[in-house]
Structure 1
């Protein structure tokens, strides 16, 4: 049974004055099960994200994190249970779900033959952003990503950190209120990582909801209001950092962890996982 370190609040926070009331939490995952043949990759996972929250989803390779992300994006359908994005079911309303999401994949998803402006214009067109608005939005997100001065350069001149920041900027072109960030800082320099962190914090402060996966425990410690640790298809711990570090469970030999990384190793073990 999952070691939930808190009882989650089920109601969304009040909507800003003058806006339509938010009836549901931005992300609701309810008893999701996903099988690949005889392998049950996700085993009855449930969690919710509040508006403006940065929520960390951690776990070793093969824990089920990528499967959850792919279900939320609509790339996979759950075999049991459901996930709601802004109140829309990934099963019944996949197109509505995709319009609400900004997704930053782990792999760089850019066209190297195009410059930064051209990439932003192309991806914005896929989301139906009107042509008359694309240039202004592109300049806005380029300033946000610290790439405005390099906007017309070919991507072959970009460093890894610059490509990561542009990858992030693409996800913002249609102004989503929910972001899925799948290890967005892999292989970047410290300056680009810090820039990405600051932008995530600004977005969350403005009301954007962020689901963040990472293998870097210090990132989750810095950014995330709540953290879920997955292993073998289940959530085995969920709570704030303080609540997780206060956990005690003799069946898993959890004892006074000094940080999130130590707790992670205690809960998921030291066995190498290459899947």
Structure 2
């Protein structure tokens, strides 16, 4: 099973940076004067849309999979469940590590993501399009094969890998006032927050989510209040429905927040980092394609 017990700190993030550096890109930080004018502040974009596999998920996946190979040289392989980006990251990492990989994926997942996962040599196992089904089928595969589950967010090694985004970001722009993080399961949010807090404590980290998801209520209750997207949660950003240059809609959520949602913060941040979390877009799923 995946390692959930080892606490994550900035030291683990630094170790992850060294471990994965030859297998992921150090992505560029981009600026845009037109967006700065709209936002009335300076915006810096960490372009994870240019990352290996097309999304930041390759970072955490590589760290977790490579550590699995180190800890268990005779590992029968990896299994995970994902709507696409984490699956591509794990499939890529498993190929790099020489491990077998099975991916449990909803039967309605975008074809572009399914094709990419297969392209990395992973086995696809389709399930019903619900978070509960994904978990159940993944657990069954792990039990039957002995493969290690690499969860997209509930895995400390994955969180440490995602924290390398903030490590790079703050090396390049050390005086950021805030970083906006599009949030699904929370591994990027956790990794970025703990790293930013260690390196630049004055830099605030904000989670960005679709209206209706209500992550704040789960945080206040200290438990996940739902596992499947509510029926009223209408968003094209499929990768952040759960607790996604062309960027995927989930990355666009951070851009929107940077332009429209920061004036209520006192004092309003003037140098803001936005993580463009990925660029894996299914053209057939975009609202203007129908």
TM-score interval (norm. to shorter): under 0.3
Greater share of residues in strand: 1
Greater share of residues in helix: 2
Output the TM-score relative to the length of structure 2. 0.26
